[in-house]
Amino acid sequence: MKKQNILVLNGPNLNLLGEREPDQYGDISLDHIKELLHWEFPEVEFCFFQSNHEGDLVDQLHESHQSGVSGIVFNPGAYTHTSVALRDAVKAIAPPVIEVHLSNIYSREPFRHVSHLAPVCVGQISGLGALGYSLAVRWLISSHP
Ligand code: DQA
């Protein structure tokens, strides 16, 4: 059986997870999330990428399309609320993308209530902390076995 190939993509400031606003985002680091995903889904081949730069995230989405990844878990950070370029990139590629947020963006400041990406993603998970990444992977595995 062919191994699932999933990209876990994280946007700006998510490299600071664990130290950054723990009341909002919890005290778990991005490396720890990576370890948990490897542990929970040994059958999946993961690629992890984090960048604070919009264009790097666009490039990564294009590359994942070209390399044929089966799905993408994407926390675009603050670019969620601002980036038409990331929305267009998600729309342009074939792999299904699930938008994930650690915090509940709808219970926060009004400017976070708008996601430019959500309408072009297959779904959105918001407010379930690090578990959101794992649930997104589960969905990708179950819908594209
Ligand atoms: C976030 C929510 C965004 O509004 C914020 O800018 C982030 C993190 C989250 O995971 O809850 O950087 O994407």
Given a contact cutoff of 8 angstroms between Cβ atoms, the answer to whether 6 and 137 are in contact is: yes
Q: In the predicted model, is pLDDT for residue 2 greater than 70?
A: no
| 15-68: pLDDT as tens digits | 999 999 999 999 999 999 999 999 999 999 999 999 999 999 999 999 999 998
Atom of ligand 1 nearest to the CA of 14: 12
* Count of other CB atoms within 10 angstroms of residue 66: 9
Alpha-carbon torsion 23, 29, 33, 36, what sign?
negative
Phi and psi (nearest 5°) for 66? -65, -35
Q: What's the pTM?
A: 0.96
Residue-level pLDDT at 145:
59
User: Tokens 């604070």, residue?
Assistant: 52
119 alpha carbon to ligand 1 midpoint, in Å?
A: 17
User: Would you name the residues annotated as active-site residues?
Assistant: 25, 101
